[in-house]
Structure 1
Amino acid sequence: MENTAFARAANHFALAERPDDAISLYSHLFHETMTSAGELGRELRLSPWPQSSVFFFSDYNSLLIRHPEIENANFNLLIGKWWRYALLHQKILDRSPLMELEHYLSQISESHASTSWSDHVEKLPEWIDEGAKGFPPIDDRDGVMTKRIIDRMTHIRATTKGWLYGYIWGNYFLTDAQLREVPSDEPFAYLEATRTARPSFEGL
Structure 2
Amino acid sequence: MRIRRLWSGVVCAVLVSCGPVSGDTGSEGPPEAGEAPASAPATARAATAPAPAAHGPLFLGPGDCSGRGRTDVREVPCTSEKAAARVIARHDGRRRDGPACPAATDFVLHISEHRPEFDEDGDGSVPRGYACMRNLEPPHPGDPGGGGGPHTVVGDCLHGSSVGQVRETPCDGSGAHRPEFRLESAVDERSRCPGSTDLFVELPVGEAPVGCARRL
Q: TM-score, normalising length from structure 1?
A: 0.25
| Structure (1 or 2) with the greater helix fraction | 1
Q: Which of the pair has more CA radius of gyration?
A: 1
| Structure (1 or 2) with the greater strand fraction | 2
